[in-house]
Structure 1
Amino acid sequence: MTTQRRERAPRQADVARLAGVSQSAVSRVIGGDPEAAARIPEDTRRRILDAVKELGYVPNLSARKLRNKTNRLLGVHTFEPVFPHARENFYFEFLLGIEERAEEIGYDLVLFTSTGASDGRRRVYRDGTNRLNVADGTVLLGVATDKADLARLWQEGYPFIHIGRRDVPGADIPCVIPDYFGITGDIAGRLAALGHRHVAYLREHLEMEPYEDRRRGYADAVERLGLIDRSPGFRGEIGLDDAWLDELARGPETAVVAESERLAEALRHGLRERGREVPADLSVVVLEGIGPDASLRWEHLDIPRKEIGRTAIDALVAIVDDPAARSESVVVPCSIVDGDSTAPPAPKEPAPHA
């Protein structure tokens, strides 16, 4: 007797992919609200309806009923303070994208800033109560994520999306994920295309999923491209010491990938003390954004934070409209910003201080 595998029913996310639109656009077209549907261009509506017909998608009536009871209010919860220095803060452009997209699709926002606990950490729950419940769903972001809160939100079925990948045991947390794995591999590939074969990695002390993705992407590219990396950072050691600076000044390495601008600046200063220069003697790429006061126009990874904020709102609205979509994460491509810190490898002369 042959057992056939049962295929899952098509979801709004499948319709959105086939039509080449956001899930929120699909929701507005098929959600039974003529005013919301009228805001979608005619050609977009046609593509969505064609995709619905092709896939045989049937709207979730219970989800639609739930949607009609919402107040069109979305939350934003940060696990650490972003004010009063939000403009200089890493999160500022995320917030811009979140606000911009919510306004475009007719949602109001509430920013949860008063959920701090006595230990200085911001938590979703206080006295056993989920204070996010005032909103239909919430975008969560921050470095100091409380994974116990994420697990509880997931178990309770509250609609949310997290900006940045987070692994939570027993819960398939929906996230908007910058593609650090892919872009770090692209950076290594760009160095290889310039002719670099002996490379090195400078590692920060942070142990979080975004840094794990960078490290996996780099290690995968090193193996795939046949590069040689003997650096302490590649083996998991943190930082940059004098012994390794001496090795970089006189050894075969011609390119370095640094996880932070801080490490890149320390490398440049240490090399200069040893008679070496970036990029004449050593090319350097930084795996984060660069501040306006950088001493060199570093080639670096760029995170499309505003786009990620916009994507988070679309993903959250899709979850609010269709709870079955709450396990689906979205990966957003990153890019490389050209700078003055890379060049083809030059023959290495003995270091002046060697």
Structure 2
Amino acid sequence: MSRSETGRITQQRIAQLAGVSQSTVSLVLNGRSDGSVRIPQETRERILKVIEETGYVADPSARRLAGGDNHILGVFTYEPAFPTESIDFYTPLLAGIEAGAEIVGSDLLLFTSAPVVDGRRQLFHERNRLRLADGVLLLGVEMDPVELRRLTEDDFRVVAVGRRDTPGIPYVGIDYAAAATALVHRAAALGHERASFLHRSSLGESVLDRRRGVVEGAATAGIALENRTTDGVDPKADWAAVRASGATLLIAEEPALAAAILDLAERDGVSVPHDLSVVALGSVARPGAAAVEITRLVPPREELGERAVALLARILSEGAEVPAADRRTLMECPIADGVTLAAARATR
């Protein structure tokens, strides 16, 4: 029996399929009895079999509705949070989540039991225990829209960190599109008419928002834009493409790639920003002491994490009373001036 054959799977549906009451299903899911009713082993096994066949995952809000408010907020990361390359992204975000949890008086539970396959976790993996938490924060550049739709169908209490296209998913995100457009317009005001844009191939909403902001900003400012998709593993090839483009402005999505290009430019005797201006659509959390101050977007990730916790706590407390406008919000993204953006060489 598959989920598609049964439609939305709830405890009530599990009870119908197993031929028992919903309260019996709840007792089995929570691994306890009510002190007066002993659940026969045969009945318990039948319920567990139905749960396994339907792929049902208990709603963490069900524990709250049953009086099981544990003051535990779950954190689920689609990508590993602690590899070296992820530390700069996740460190301020997790710091903000920790601060927010302290404010609302909750503990944090990081869900790691689902294995990472091809760099991603499955939210509804059989080993995941989302029901241990009262509500869950979702982290990741890319999230599975099928899983997100399932969360809304089953009325999970969740908040995504970052804007999501999936209808009904609450989120707190950053307005990358507006910030990227503003950064491009700043460059246009300095006389830049030709730009090279190095960006990722990801379909994550934050990546697409930055890309859209750059493309729209270039179009409205009259900048000729040359796009190059890169995974950042061969910066020499990226640098060669930038030089061949004749651009006076490089827009790098990844701050690390922008830094690598700066090193290659210096090696080749290209002066930044005299010969080439460089801007980045993000920033590292812990730049080195000798690092060049790149003109860049500065996502307020710590505040983002704290506000996501506040929204989740509000949803847990107020439920459906939280207005739709408050469930999906975008934060402004500041721009750091840096020293790598100057007037285009043709206008000096």
Normalising by structure 2, we get a TM-score of 0.69
Task: Please state how far the C-alpha of 1:199 moved relative to its aligned partner.
Answer: 2.8
- Paired position in structure 2 for 1:165: 163
Counterpart CA distance in 1 for 2:315 and 2:128 is 18
CA-to-aligned-CA distance 1:6-35 (integer Å, 9 cap, x gap): xxxxxxxxxxxxxxxxxxxxxxxxxxxxxx
- Paired position in structure 1 for 2:300: 304
Question: Is the Cα–Cα contact under 8 Å of residues 191 and 344 in structure 2 kept in the other structure?
Answer: yes
- Paired position in structure 1 for 2:274: 280
Whether 2:164 is the aligned partner of 1:185: answer: no
Counterpart CA distance in 1 for 2:301 and 2:83 is 19
- Paired position in structure 2 for 1:174: 170
Give the letter aligned to residue 165 of structure 1: R
Give the letter aligned to residue 319 of structure 1: I
Structure 1 segment 236-275 matched on structure 2, within 5 A:
241=238, 244-248=241-245, 251=246, 253-272=247-266, 275=269
Task: Please state how far the C-alpha of 1:256 moved relative to its aligned partner.
Answer: 2.0
Task: Please state how far the C-alpha of 1:221 moved relative to its aligned partner.
Answer: 1.6
Question: Is the Cα–Cα contact under 8 Å of residues 180 and 281 in structure 2 kept in the other structure?
Answer: yes
Q: 1:67 to 1:285 in 2, by over 3 A?
A: farther
- Paired position in structure 1 for 2:80: 81
Give the letter aligned to residue 231 of structure 1: E
Counterpart CA distance in 2 for 1:309 and 1:264 is 26
Structure 1 segment 25-36 matched on structure 2, within 5 A:
none
Q: Which runs of 5+ in 2 are unaligned?
A: 1-63
Task: Please state how far the C-alpha of 1:287 moved relative to its aligned partner.
Answer: 0.8
- Paired position in structure 1 for 2:331: 332
For 2:89, what is the secondary structure of its paired residue?
Answer: coil
CA-to-aligned-CA distance 1:11-64 (integer Å, 9 cap, x gap): xxxxxxxxxxxxxxxxxxxxxxxxxxxxxxxxxxxxxxxxxxxxxxxxxxxxxx
For 2:201, what is the secondary structure of its paired residue?
Answer: coil
Q: 1:108 to 1:272 in 2, by over 3 A?
A: closer
Counterpart CA distance in 2 for 1:83 and 1:182 is 30
Counterpart CA distance in 2 for 1:341 and 1:271 is 12
Give the letter aligned to residue 149 of structure 1: E
CA-to-aligned-CA distance 1:285-329 (integer Å, 9 cap, x gap): 111213524752211111111100111011112222233348521
- Paired position in structure 2 for 1:229: 224
Question: Is the Cα–Cα contact under 8 Å of residues 80 and 120 in structure 2 kept in the other structure?
Answer: no
How many residue pairs get aligned? The number is 277
- Paired position in structure 2 for 1:342: 341
- Paired position in structure 2 for 1:110: 109
Q: Which runs of 5+ in 1 are unaligned?
A: 1-64, 350-354
Task: Please state how far the C-alpha of 1:144 moved relative to its aligned partner.
Answer: 4.8
- Paired position in structure 2 for 1:48: none
Q: Out of 255-264 and 271-280, give the one that drifted further.
A: 271-280
CA-to-aligned-CA distance 1:78-133 (integer Å, 9 cap, x gap): 12332476993421211111111121122222222223267774233233x86211
Q: 1:112 to 1:134 in 2, by over 3 A?
A: same
Task: Please state how far the C-alpha of 1:274 moved relative to its aligned partner.
Answer: 5.0
Counterpart CA distance in 1 for 2:231 and 2:76 is 31
Counterpart CA distance in 2 for 1:307 and 1:299 is 21
Question: Is the Cα–Cα contact under 8 Å of residues 280 and 294 in structure 2 kept in the other structure?
Answer: yes
Task: Please state how far the C-alpha of 1:238 moved relative to its aligned partner.
Answer: 7.8
- Paired position in structure 1 for 2:71: 72
Give the letter aligned to residue 298 of structure 1: I
Q: Out of 322-331 and 151-160, give the one that drifted further.
A: 322-331
Give the letter aligned to residue 259 of structure 1: E
Question: Is the Cα–Cα contact under 8 Å of residues 67 and 320 in structure 1 kept in the other structure?
Answer: no
Question: Is the Cα–Cα contact under 8 Å of residues 202 and 238 in structure 1 kept in the other structure?
Answer: no
- Paired position in structure 2 for 1:21: none
Give the letter aligned to residue 248 of structure 2: T
Question: Is the Cα–Cα contact under 8 Å of residues 245 and 267 in structure 1 kept in the other structure?
Answer: no
- Paired position in structure 2 for 1:292: 287
Q: 1:139 to 1:341 in 2, by over 3 A?
A: same
CA-to-aligned-CA distance 1:192-221 (integer Å, 9 cap, x gap): 233323333222233321111011111222
Counterpart CA distance in 2 for 1:92 and 1:295 is 19
Give the letter aligned to residue 252 of structure 2: A
- Paired position in structure 2 for 1:97: 96
Question: Is the Cα–Cα contact under 8 Å of residues 161 and 171 in structure 2 kept in the other structure?
Answer: yes
